[in-house]
């Protein structure tokens, strides 16, 4: 579909409205009036959650766009954080703020929240706009992920502890085999020693596996999506929202006349 339509230059401008609809469309029909697509950037923000003692990570997806002189955003949307007109990520209007502070890139807002507050306020659903005090409505998932790359971050002291535990596990296994081979398993005393060694080995192994996996587990913030601000149709409705007031009037009028 993109191939056929890219030849039709007369309606190019209107077709470019949906910047995020396809990377192919942008590459195949580059216009002078539009920012040129360069690459998609994935940043992973890591932070430590001091309250829950967990390593947290969040992917930030940014379309890196090269600005073209003279380009004006079609919807006049400007991100209030990066002051950028290009749709490097989805434009949202998450609070009551208007004018130049109305829109923000979703990924810019995520970065700002993580830098400013860390993770705790996301957990507790306590994110507010600093200007208008409106509570941000959002969906988010926290999922544990095993990440072997965390091995580099683990302290040498912890790694040394693991090595000592592995040494003792091997020592108890070979000790049990040696006792069994040397004294036989007919004597009650040797059986008792082997059982004790076996229990210590199992406990140490479970403890080691638990520590190893928890040290390599990071909690990912996933599917984090903000909702646009929608005024509630109540008595405290702002004057500017005429659409819902009009709907209410129609309903009231119908009741009044019947
Ligand atoms: Zn931005
Ligand atoms: Zn606001």
Two structure tokens written together for 151: 């091995």
How many whole angstroms from 254 Cα to the centroid of ligand 1? 46
Alpha-carbon gap, residue 231 to 190, rounded angstroms: 77
Contacts of 97 (CB under 8 A, 6+ apart): 80, 129, 131, 132, 134
* Eight-state DSSP code of residue 98: -
Among the bound ligands, the one closest to the CA of 100: 2
Predicted confidence band of residue 173 (pLDDT cuts 50, 70, 90): very high
How many whole angstroms from 79 Cα to the centroid of ligand 1? 5
Residue 93 has pLDDT above 90, yes or no: yes
pLDDT tens sequence across 30-48: 344 455 555 677 888 888 8
How many whole angstroms from 226 Cα to the centroid of ligand 2? 13
Alpha-carbon gap, residue 59 to 173, rounded angstroms: 44
pLDDT tens sequence across 109-140: 999 999 888 888 999 999 999 999 999 999 99
Q: Is 69 exposed, middle or buried (0-12, 13-18, 19+ CB in 10 A)?
A: exposed
Angle at which helices 188-215 and 156-183 cross, to 10°: 160
Q: Rounded to two decimals, what is the model's pTM?
A: 0.63
Q: Which of 165, 253, 244 is nearest to 209 (CA)?
A: 165
Domain positions in the chain: 151-218
Among the bound ligands, the one closest to the CA of 111: 1
Q: What percent of the chain has pLDDT over 70?
A: 70
How many CB atoms lie under 10 A from the CB of residue 86?
Answer: 22
């Amino acid at each position: 579909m993109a191939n056929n339509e890219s030849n039709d230059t007369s309606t190019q401008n209107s077709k470019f409205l949906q910047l995020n609809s396809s990377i192919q469309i942008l590459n195949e029909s580059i216009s002078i009036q539009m920012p040129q697509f360069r690459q998609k950037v994935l940043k992973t923000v890591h932070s430590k959650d001091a309250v829950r003692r967990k390593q947290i990570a969040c992917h930030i997806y940014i379309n890196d766009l090269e600005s073209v002189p003279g380009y004006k955003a079609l919807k006049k949307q400007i991100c209030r954080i990066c002051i950028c007109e290009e749709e490097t990520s989805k434009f949202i209007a998450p609070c009551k703020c208007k004018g130049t502070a109305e829109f923000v890139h979703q990924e810019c807002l995520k970065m700002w929240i993580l830098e400013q507050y860390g993770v705790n306020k996301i957990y507790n659903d306590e994110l507010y706009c600093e200007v208008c005090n409106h509570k941000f409505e959002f969906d988010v998932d926290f999922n544990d992920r095993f990440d072997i790359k965390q091995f580099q971050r683990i302290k040498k002291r912890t790694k040394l502890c693991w090595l000592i535990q592995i040494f003792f596990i091997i020592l108890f296994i070979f000790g049990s085999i040696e006792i069994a081979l040397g004294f036989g398993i007919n004597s009650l005393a040797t059986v008792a020693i082997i059982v004790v060694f076996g229990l210590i080995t199992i406990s140490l192994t479970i403890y080691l596996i638990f520590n190893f996996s928890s040290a390599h587990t990071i909690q990912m913030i996933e599917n984090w999506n903000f909702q646009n601000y929608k005024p509630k149709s109540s008595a405290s409705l702002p004057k500017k929202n005429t659409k819902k007031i009009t709907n209410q009037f129609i309903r009231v009028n119908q009741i009044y006349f019947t």
